[in-house]
A and B are shown apart, each in its own frame.
Chain A
Amino acid sequence: MPNHYIGVDIGSLTVKVVLIDDDLKIIGQGKERAGYSGRTIAQKLIAEVLAKSGLTTQNVGATVATGYGRVTFSADREVSEITCQAKGISHLFPSARTVIDIGGQDSKVIKLFPNGKVADFTMNDKCAAGTGRFLEVMASALEVDWQEISELVSASKKPTKISSFCTVFAESEIISQVSAGELKADILAGVCDSVASRVASMSRRTGLEPDIVFTGGVAHNDGVVKALAKQLDFSLLISQEPVITAALGAALIAREIKK
C-alpha cells in the first residue's frame, strides 16, 4: 500500500532524504555529500532508504523535493526550503516562533505564526558571508577539517576579529592573522563570531520571538551555536539532527498532498 512519504532536500553541499509513515513517524533517513550531481545522489539515497526499511517505490504515496536541486528532480511537487523548514521545525517544536537556518549557500531567518505557517522570512544577500560555505572556505584556509571546528573553537580563549564582509577579503585577513602568529583556535573562533554576527544582524530584520530553533548543517557547529546564542541573547533549541529538518518538512507536505 502506498502509505509512506518521502521528503528529499537536495542542498548545495549535501543531499538529505527522510521517509515517514502515515502516522508521521520517521522510519528512515539518509544523507550524503551532493558532489557533482545532487539528483543522482538523491535517487541513490532514496533507493537505499527504502531498501533498508524493506520497502519499494510501490509503497511511496508521494515525494516532495526541496533545496537547490528541487527544480530538476522529478517529484510530485517541489516546495521551497523555507516552507519545508517551517513545516519540519513546527512539527518537531510546536512552540517554535523563529527558525534560524544556516545552510551551505544560504542562511535564513523564518518567523512562524502560532499555527506553524510562515509569517515572514529574511535571507542572506548575494554574498556568501554568514553561510556554511563561508565557514568551509575559512576552515580550509586554516587547513582544518569541518568536523574539527567545534573542538578547536572550544579551546579558544581570545577570538580574533574578522572585519571584512567579503569572503575573499576575509580569507586574506585570515591569512594575515596566520602570518601574524595568531592561534588557529582563536582565528577559527573569530570566523564563528563573524558568521554569527551576520546572521544575528539578519534576524533583527524580521524580529526575534522565542522559541528560537537553530537548524541546518552549521547547527552542528558548537562554536557558531554559542556565538549566536550570545549575540542574540536568547537560548537556542537544536534538534537532534538539524540537517534533516527541511527534508522532514518535505515528507510531511508529501503526506498532506496525498490526503
Chain B
Amino acid sequence: MSDNNGQINSSNALELLLEEASLKGTYRMKRYPGKKFFGYFCSYFPEELIIAAGFEPLRLLPDSENSTPAELPGYCCSLAKGTLDMEIRKQYYDLIGIGFTHTCDTMQCLSGVWSACGQTKTVDIVPPVMLNAPGAFSYYLAETKNLMMTLSSLTQTAIKESSILEAIKLCAHTRSLVTEIDNLRSILPSPLVFSILRAGQLMPRVEYVKALEECLPDLKEMSSKNLHQVKILVSSAVLESDSLFAMIEELGGRVVADDTCTGYRHYSGNTVWGSVNPLTDIVQRYSEMPPCPCKNRSLNERIHHLTTLAKHRNAQGAIIIIRKFCEPHAWDAVSLAESLREKGIRTLTLELEGASVGGQERTRLQAFLEGLLESPDL
C-alpha cells in the first residue's frame, strides 16, 4: 500500500491493484478504515451517484462458486447464490446499502429475496430495457433522480450538484485511463489487464485512479508482445477471477478484446458532462454504452458492436462464456457465434459453473487454440 507521504511508486501501485483485485473487497474495513462502501450489482448502476453521495462503490462478487443458500433453487447462477450466501454469513454488515439494477430476471428476483432475508438495506433502480424506446430517456432520468433521493436519505444530506459533477469527472477520468490500458492489450499479459480492470470496481476510487496513473507509464513499456499468440475476443457475464484469462494466455492466446461485465464493458462508452442537469449526462452515458444482453438499443446493435470490435482488434478467435443458468448470455451466444463465424472468426462457446476453469475447460480451450495456432486462416 502507500507509504507515509501517500506517495505510491509504480511497482507498488501495480502491486496494490493486483492485491485489491484478488481480495475482492474483503478486508476493506481494515485497509480503508475511514471509507464508507456501498455495494452494487451490474454496470448499469450509476457509480457516479454512489461517489457523489460520499460512498465508495463496491461491486459484489461471490467468494465461492459452490454456495447453496436455501432461499434460491439449484438452477440459479452462482453469482446470485454466492453473494446471497455472503449476506447471510454477514459479510456485508458494514455496507451503507446494496444497489440492485433491473437487468436480468435473476437480478430482479435477487433484490426481492435479499430484502426478505438479508440485513443490509437494498436500493433498486429499474432502467428501461428498451433504451431507445419513446419515453425511455425521461423515464430513466426520473428513475435516476429517485435513486439520488434514496441515496441522499441514507446520509440525511442532499447530494449537491457540484458533487455530482465532480463524480462524473472522476468517473470520466477513470474510464479514460482504463481505455488507455485496454488499448495496450496486445502487449500486456491478459490476466494482468483483467485484474487491473477488476480492481477499479473493488477499491476506493481516488486511490484507484492514483495507482493507475502511477503504473501506466511502466505498463506502456512492459511489452510482452508475442507474435505467435492467437488474438482472442472474450464475451461473458461477471467473471470474479482471472482464471480464464490466465489459462487462455498459458495455452497460447491473448485476449485483445474484452466484453465482460467485470472487464472493459464496465468502462466502455462515452462520458459526457456540461448539461444544465448533470443527471441527464449520467443517463445519456448509461443509455448509450455498449449494451449487455439484457438491454436492447436495437435488434442487432450488440452483435454488430462485438463483430466490429473483433475485426478492429484483429481477433482470430472468439470465446463466448455462458455461466451456468445465465439466460441472457446463453440466448445471445447463438446469434453472436453465428455472426462472428460469418466474419471468419472461429468461435468457441464454453459453459462455466463459476469463474474458474479446470480440466474440462482446459481440454476445450486447448483444442480451440491448437486449431487456431495450426491453421489460423481457416
- Residues of A near any B CB (own CB < 8 A): 68, 71, 78-83, 105-106, 113, 117-121, 123, 125-126
Contact B362–A71 (Cβ < 8 Å): yes
Residues of B at the A interface (CB closer than 8 Å) are 324, 346, 351, 353, 359-360, 362-364, 366-368, 370-371, 374-375, 378
Give complex CA distance A14, B346 in Å. Answer: 32
The residue in chain A whose Cβ has the minimal distance to the Cβ of B346 is A120
Whether A71 contacts B359 in the complex (CB less than 8 A), given A80-B367, A126-B353, comes out as: yes
Minimum distance in angstroms from A71 CB to a CB of chain B: 7
Does A83 contact B360, Cβ atoms closer than 8 Å? no
Q: Which of A80, A117, A118 has the most CB of B within 10 A?
A: A80
Contacts of B378 in A (CB 8 A): 113, 119
**Interfacial chain B residues near A123, Cβ < 8 Å:** 363-364
Let me know if B359 and A83 touch, CB within 8 A: no
B360/A118 in contact, CB under 8 A:
no
Give the distance to chain A from B327, nearest Cβ to Cβ, in Å. 15
The distance from the CB of B49 to the nearest CB of chain A, in whole angstroms, is: 38
- In this complex, the member of A105, A113, A118 whose beta carbon has the largest number of chain B beta carbons within 10 angstroms is A118
Give the Cβ gap from A86 to chain B, nearest Cβ, in Å: 9
Given contacts A68-B359, A81-B363, A82-B363, contact A117 B371 (CB under 8 A): yes
Q: When the two chains form the complex, which single residue of A78, A81, A117, A126 contacts B374, counting CB atoms closer than 8 Å?
A: A117
Could you say which residues of chain A place their CB within 8 Å of the CB of B366? 78-80, 82-83
Residues of chain B contacted by A119 (CB below 8 angstroms): 378
A81 to B353, CA, bound (A): 22
Question: Which B residue sits closest to A85, measured CB to CB?
Answer: B367
Write 10 A-B pairs (CB below 8 A) sorted by A numbering.
A80-B362, A80-B363, A80-B370, A82-B370, A83-B366, A83-B370, A106-B363, A113-B378, A118-B370, A123-B364
Task: Return chain A residues, CB-CB under 8 Å to B371.
Answer: 83, 117-118, 121
In the bound complex, CA of A169 to CA of B89 (Å) = 31
Interface centre among A83, A105, A113 (most CB of B within 10 A): A83
Number of A-B contacts (CB under 8 A): 48
**Is A106 touching B370 in the complex (CB atoms < 8 A)?**
no
**How many Å from the CB of A133 to the closest CB on chain B?**
12
Q: Is the CB of A83 within 8 A of B367?
A: yes
Q: What residues on B are CB-neighbors of A82 within 8 Å?
A: 363, 366-367, 370
Interchain CA distance A113-B378 in the complex, whole Å: 10
Task: List A contacts of B375 (CB < 8 A).
Answer: 113, 117
Contact of B367 among A68, A71, A81 (CB under 8 A): A81
Q: Known contacts A125-B351, A126-B324, A126-B353; is A79 also within 8 Å of B370 by CB?
A: yes
Minimum CB–CB distance for A45 against chain B, Å: 20
Query: Are B362 and A105 closer than 8 Å at their CB atoms?
Result: no
Neighbouring B residues of A117 by C-beta, 8 Å = 371, 374-375
Nearest A residue to B359, CB-CB: A68
Give A177 to B156 CA distance when docked, in angstroms: 65
B365 shortest CB reach to chain A, Å? 8
B contact residues around A106 at 8 Å (CB): 360, 363
Determine the distance from Cα of A36 to Cα of B324 in the docked complex, in whole angstroms: 29
Contacts of A105 in B (CB 8 A): 360
Instruction: Point out the residues of chain A lying under 8 angstroms from B359, CB to CB.
Output: 68, 71
18 additional contacts (CB under 8 A) given A78-B366, A83-B371:
A68-B359, A71-B362, A79-B370, A80-B363, A80-B370, A81-B367, A82-B363, A82-B366, A82-B367, A83-B366, A83-B370, A83-B374, A106-B360, A106-B363, A118-B367, A118-B371, A118-B374, A119-B378
Alpha-carbon distance between A81 and B367 when the two chains are bound, in angstroms? 7
Given contacts A79-B370, A83-B371, A113-B378, A126 and B363 within 8 Å (CB-CB): no
In the complex, which of the residues B346, B351, B370, B378 has the most CB atoms of chain A within 10 Å of its own CB atom?
A: B370
A117 to chain B, nearest CB (A): 6
Bound: A83/B364 CA distance, A? 10
Cα distance A118–B348 in the bound complex, in angstroms = 13
Which A residues are CB-close (under 8 A) to B363? 68, 80-82, 106, 123
A137 to B: closest C-beta gap in Å: 17
In the complex the two chains form, what is the Cα distance from A200 to B346 in whole Å? Answer: 23
Q: Smallest CB-CB separation from A123: which chain B residue?
A: B364
- Min CB–CB distance A166 → chain B (angstroms): 10
Residues of B contacting A68 with CB < 8 Å?
359, 363
Q: Which residues of A contact B324 (CB under 8 A)?
A: 126
Nearest to A125 among chain B residues (CB) is: B351
Q: How far is the CA of A119 from the CA of B377 in the complex (A)?
A: 11
Q: What distance in Å separates the Cβ of A110 from its nearest Cβ neighbour in chain B?
A: 8
Would you give the shortest CB distance from B360 to chain A, in whole angstroms? Answer: 7
Given A126-B351, A126-B353: A121 in contact with B360 (beta carbons within 8 A): no
Docked Cα-Cα span, A117 to B367, in Å, equals 11
